[in-house]
Every structure is written in structure tokens, then in C-alpha cells.
Chains A and B, each alone.
Chain A
Amino acid sequence: MEQSTAVVFFTGFQLRDIWYLAEAAGRTLLISIISITVGSILGCVFGWMLYSSKWLGAMTLGLVLDAFRSVPLIIQLILFFNFFPIIGVPLDPFTAGTFVLTIYTAALVANVVRGGIEAVGIPMRRSSRSLGMSYWQDMRYVVWPIGLRAVFPAWVGVALGVMKDSSLVSVLGYVELLRASQILITRTQEPFIVLAVAGAFYFALSYPLSKFSARLEGKWQS
């Protein structure tokens, strides 16, 4: 008798479960792309602010962004998820997760961007200004292309890190890849296979990009 109920509840790993995981991988990709895009734009602005107003920027914005880099993401997620109901706007896991991931990305990217602007030497900046370029022309045509090359690999590293860290949004209850694998493990009782497939999805998302960035870095350096 016990055997038969067990059969009803636990069914082995099937082919369509891979499809289920693929869908979840799509959600991982969705939340990552939104946070990385918005976070990078914000990060560029923050990074520029940190660079251009050194003292004030470091005292205010710098401190806040530094806090986001010094506290585990999982705690940030739990804090904000529980903070929004306190101020009267409860958010669903997806929105709260995207919000936190976006700020987290922005905090990391801001540092990268500031490094990128600093990587463009002062003499270069002065010469572009003395050629008659405005501040923004200098930013657009001199700092951007040179700085981007200097920090592009670091930015890819941040982006891939955020993609992997998006797995933590599962603690809020958003069913992304890792959460989906947990659900499947509960049903199939085959943790090894399920985790291997989930890991393969992550690997497939991350590995090509990291190789591409490494190759680009090598090309730019030579």
C-alpha cells in the first residue's frame, strides 16, 4: 500500500522536465537581463558622479553603494522584500528581486565605470579639451571608447556574476532555474540528475560569454 502511494507522488525525471527547467532558465535570463541593463545604466551615472564629485560623491553615494557591496545579496533581498510592506507597498517576489538586483548591479558597475574613467589618463583628457572639444564631447568621443575597452572584461564579469547571483531571488519565492530544480527534486527524488541539468543550463548561459570576453580582452591587449 505504501509503495503505491509513493509511486503516485514521486515520478521519475522525464524529458518534459527539461522543458520545465528551460522555462525557468528563461526566467533567470529575464530577471538578469532587466537588472543588468537598468543596473548598468544607473551604474554608469553613479560611476560618473563618483568620479566627478570626488569628496561629496564619496561621502554620500559612495557610502551607500559600498554598503550594497559589503552586505550579502541574500540579506539585501530579504531586507527589501520585508521593507516594502512596511512602507505600505508590498511587492511581488519578481519586482522586489529585480529591484534589489538592479541596485546591486549598479553598485558594482559604478565602481567599474569609475575605474574606466580613471583609466583614461589626464593628459589625454586635457589634450582633447585643448583641441576644442566640450566636456561632453570629450566624454563621448575620448573617455567612452578608451575607458570601455579598459573595463569591458570587468563589466562582463559583473554581468555574469549578477546572472549567477539571480539564483538567490529564489529565497523570495520567485521560481527561477535553481528554485525550479528544487521543486523537481522534491517530486522526482533524483537530486543528482536534476541538479546536473540545472547546472548545465547555468553553464550554457555563462560559459560562452566569459570565453567571448576573454578572447576580446586578448585581442584588445595585443
Chain B
Amino acid sequence: MEYTFQWRPVMRQLPDLLEAGFMTLQVSILAMILGTVIGLALALVRMNAPWQVRWLATTWIEVARNTPALFQLFFFGFGLGAFGINLSPFVIVLSGLTFNTAGYLAENFRGGFQAIPDTQLKAARSLGMSASQSYIRIIIPQVFRIIYHPMTNQMVWVVLMSSLGMLVGFRELTGETQFFASRTFRIFEYFMVTAIIYYFIVKIILGLSKLIAWRLFRY
């Protein structure tokens, strides 16, 4: 083995990498929030709307679930570029991740809604709640409880998927690493450190999720 590992240049850039890690977190959290809202809407639309709108929601969900995330990013990047819509790398990654997350979460939400017996809604309505009240106060909180674990997994997936930003020129953790790595040719060392950073980000998310679950679902 003639290769000598040189970790010093990586360590010198470590603050930049950590800062890029915050960028990764930022775009992931935003995508997760938007994805949750849209996913919930898609699930509700798919269950209750007239068929034209339902078809739209179904298409969204199936395309999001059956094509690669990278393809979706390219679509928002280059595909929309064909119509003269040029998005910034941040918006490309955000919209791609949101599109993907919304599709996956919509399926989770649907499963959650199906798991809640009809009687819950009927009971809420018979107590005088309006339809929207009974959804917001009775049904949806229970759904969130059911899909809490899948949502945590989805959050982890979003963080991992955001690494694709590198390929559309977004300087999140992976993009930043690629930038430094190609400047110094210490590719292995840089990506090793980044891998460790990702590992810790994922562990922190899982730990936080457990903590929140313990606070929320004590009863």
C-alpha cells in the first residue's frame, strides 16, 4: 500500500463541512415540513375528492414512489429548464425532496387513516363537531401517532437524499465535500469524514425522535 492518508487538509476544512451540514439539515427540515403538509393533503384528496383531482394526486404519489429521487431532482433542474424556468440549486433540491417526501408520506398517511375506525369520526360528529373539527382534533392526531415511526424514517431518508444535491450543484454537505475533495484530490479522506458526519446527523435525528416520542406518547 503506497498511499499515505492525509487527514490534515480535511481537518482544516472541518468547520466548513459542519456549516454545510447545517445547510443539509436546513433543506431537509424544510422539505420534511412541506412534504408532510402536501402529503397529508394528497392523502385526503386521494380519499375524498372528485376523480379529476384524485387522479392528479394518484399520479403525483405513483411518480414520486416509482422513479429515482435523482431523476426527480434532474427533472426539477433540467426538465423545467426546458420551459425557461431556471431554479436555483437550493430550490431544485428543496422541490425535488418535497415532491418525493410528499409522495411517500401520502401513502403512510393513507395507511394511518385506514387504521382509524370509522366510529371515531361518527362519534366526533355526533358530539357536535363539524367535519373539519373532527378531522383536526380527533382523526389527524391519531394518524400522526400511527405514522410517527415511518415519518422518522422518512426524515432520515430525506437527509440521505439531500446528498444528491451534489449532482445539481448545491453546496450542502456532500456538494461542499466534493468541492474541497476535487481541489485537493484527497477524495477518500474527505468523503470518509463526511460519511461520519452523516452518520452522526442520522443518529441525532433518531435520538431526538425517540425523545420526542417519549414526551408525546406517554399516555
Contact = CB atoms under 8 A, between A and B. Distances in A.
Contact of B66 (A72, A168, A210): A210
A86 B195 contact: no
8 contacts: A87-B1, A167-B71, A178-B71, A190-B82, A191-B81, A192-B82, A195-B71, A199-B71
Given A70-B203, A192-B79, A199 B67 contact: yes
A167 B70 contact: yes
Interface in A154-206: 160, 164-165, 167-168, 170-171, 178, 181-182, 185, 190-192, 195-196, 198-199, 202-203, 206
Interface stretch (A47-55, A75-83, A94-102): A75-83
B70 A86 contact: no
A182 B74 CA distance: 9
A78 B187 contact: yes
B198 A71 contact: yes
Contacts of A38: none
Contacts of A70: 156, 160, 198-199, 202-203
Interface stretch (B8-16, B124-132, B136-144, B161-169): B161-169
Given A72-B174, A178-B74, A199 B83 contact: no
Given A78-B191, A87-B1, A198-B71, 11 more contacts: A72-B161, A72-B198, A74-B163, A75-B174, A75-B195, A86-B1, A86-B3, A191-B81, A203-B62, A206-B66, A206-B67
B187 A195 contact: no
B62 A72 contact: no
Interface of B: 1, 3, 62-63, 65-71, 74-75, 78-79, 81-83, 156, 160-161, 163-164, 166-167, 174, 177, 187-188, 191-192, 194-195, 198-199, 202-203
A44 B78 CA distance: 40
Nearest to A70: B202
Contacts of A165: 68
A67 interface: yes
Contact of B163 (A72, A82, A198): A72
Nearest to A87: B1
Given A164-B68, A178-B68, A83 B164 contact: no
Contacts of B191: 75, 78-79, 82
Contacts, number: 105
A170 B78 CA distance: 17
Nearest to A206: B66
Closest CB pairs A-B (n = 8): A72-B163, A192-B82, A191-B78, A206-B66, A164-B68, A70-B202, A167-B68, A86-B3
B110 to A, nearest CB: 12
A179 to B, nearest CB: 10
A79 B69 CA distance: 21
A164 B79 CA distance: 19
